[in-house]
Structure 1
Amino acid sequence: MSDPNDLAAFLDLGWQRLTRGVADRRAAARHPVFATVSPDGLPEARTVVLRAASRSTGSVEVHTDGGSDKITSLRANPHAQLMIWDEKAKLQIRLSTTVTVHQGPEVADKWQTVPDGSRMAYGASPKPGTPIPNAHAYEKLASRDWFTVLSCRIDKIELMQLVEPHRRAVFQASDAWQGEWRVP
């Protein structure tokens, strides 16, 4: 077993779990909770699919429908947090991020890699969140025009592992990911 006081090894564990979430549909990091703040200042959280994680650029990526409320929220406040609970590792990962919204021609190459069955997640009429008279009074469009990529530059990574004894650390981009231990 590695040294439980090794900050670099703890950060390695966090990145290992994140990158596994991109590659493995059954991995805990595959479906993080994505939290934003509405234009009214209220918290919003929803589950998304992790599509990319890059340690070298300090970023993660998710895809969404451009008509969703999270786009309005991110345009008002570009900060979001992703939270993952990895039961197997007993590890909570929180990523504080600054999000850039990409749409249209700049994401055309990524649209080409989206499987046909998954394209139905992008575009609906009426737009997501609109009140409807019954559960199925909408149409899925599979529209490239609504396909949106959220590039999330990670500003801070917080890891908390609930093994005995518990341990918690915070790593910030602003200090080159050196990290510091915190009380769990």
Structure 2
Amino acid sequence: MKPDLHPWAADLSLLYAEVWTRLTRGVHDRHAPARHSTLATVTPDGMPQARTVVLRAADKLAATLDIHTNIQSAKVQELRATPFAALHVWDASAHLQLRLEARVTILTGQDVAAIWAGVPAASRMSYGSSPAPGQPIAQALAYSKEPDPSCFAVLRLTVSTTDALHLGPNHRRARFDRTDGWAGEWLAP
């Protein structure tokens, strides 16, 4: 066997810790790969949808992740119909792919007032547009944006499983599940 590229990938507990290190770094470092993750949902008629989102909070102890969104967006409607999502992260520097399955709670109003208070003024423009995101418009710039706290929502992902695939000289893959206290098990890569 070849020497390991990243020694943390050879131990389940170290690998799980590295997963959350990478996710937490995505919250605080604009250049971290987890910052701009891919969120996958399904439409009410079962069509898959994937889009890039910005990771805003990560809590290893609770195994939750937060994403901010406009309440008018299609993903909110999709999550109301089917409150489950997958989050995908590819971290090239770590040779690490993360796939997380989660139940999603949509938080609004008073539940997010303190978070809204911390959103920078320039970023607030993303929460309140006319027409709503995804609606047809006559020309490319035929829309307006006005910050509206009633359009601000937090998608709280309560992670149920994490699949971590490390691509190195010796590929390793593990699955971590909430139901077994995140003990983890190795899977064939």
Q: TM-score, normalised by structure 2?
A: 0.95
Pick aligned residue for 1:145 from 132, 147, 150? 150
Give the CA deviation at 1:2: 3.6
The answer to whether 1:18 aligns with 2:27 is no
Q: Which residue of 2 aligns with 1:115?
A: 120
CA distance in 1, matches of 2:149, 2:99: 30
Q: How does 1:148-163 map to 2 (within 5 A)?
A: 148-163=153-168
Following TM superposition, the consecutive aligned residue runs of length 4 or more in structure 1 with deviations greater than 2 angstroms are 1-5
Q: Secondary structure at the match of 2:10?
A: coil
CA distance in 1, matches of 2:8, 2:82: 39
The 1:115/1:168 distance shift into structure 2, 3 A limit, reads same
CA distance in 2, matches of 1:93, 1:3: 15
Pick aligned residue for 1:50 from 30, 38, 55? 55
CA distance in 1, matches of 2:32, 2:135: 32
For residues 47-98 of structure 1, give each alpha carbon's deviation from its aligned partner in whole angstroms, at most 9, with x where no partner exists: 0000000111011000000000001000000000010000110100111000
CA distance in 2, matches of 1:3, 1:133: 53
Total equivalences in the alignment: 184
Q: TM-score, normalised by structure 1?
A: 0.97
CA distance in 1, matches of 2:159, 2:70: 22
Pick aligned residue for 1:37 from 33, 39, 42? 42
The answer to whether 1:90 aligns with 2:95 is yes
Q: Secondary structure at the match of 1:32?
A: strand
| Same amino acid, percent of matched pairs | 47
Give the CA deviation at 1:3: 6.3
Note the residue ranges of structure 2 that are not aligned, 5 or more in a row.
Answer: 1-5
Aligned residue type for 2:32: A
Give the CA deviation at 1:116: 0.3
Aligned residue type for 2:120: P
Pick aligned residue for 1:75 from 57, 80, 84? 80
The answer to whether 1:166 aligns with 2:181 is no
